[in-house]
Amino acid sequence: MPKKKPFVLRIDPDKLEAIEKWAADEFRSTNGQIEWIIDRALKESGRIPKKKNENG
């Protein structure tokens, strides 16, 4: 597993609450959900390549 770099994130409380609920619905931690959202956005925008074994 690659090393992860910690950083502080300032976020609107309503957005954080929505992310926390979404994370719980998908059985992820809040941090894991935020990372998943960022990964998805980066792939969809073409900023990082999609892995060969991913659909889409």
Which letter does DSSP use for residue 7 in this model?
-
Tell me the domain boundaries of the chain.
13-44
Predicted structure pTM score: 0.79
Question: Tell me, what's the pLDDT at 22?
Answer: 98
d(CA 4, CA 41): 18
Q: Residue 53: is its pLDDT beyond 70? A: no
**pLDDT tens digits for 5-21?**
999 999 999 999 999 99
Q: For residues 22 and 34, is the Cβ–Cβ distance under 8 A?
A: no
- Residue 56: pLDDT band with limits 50, 70, 90: low
**pLDDT tens digits for 28-51?**
999 999 999 999 999 999 998 777
Tokens of 43: 């792939």
Helix, strand, or coil (residue 18) = helix
Question: Tell me, what's the pLDDT at 54?
Answer: 61
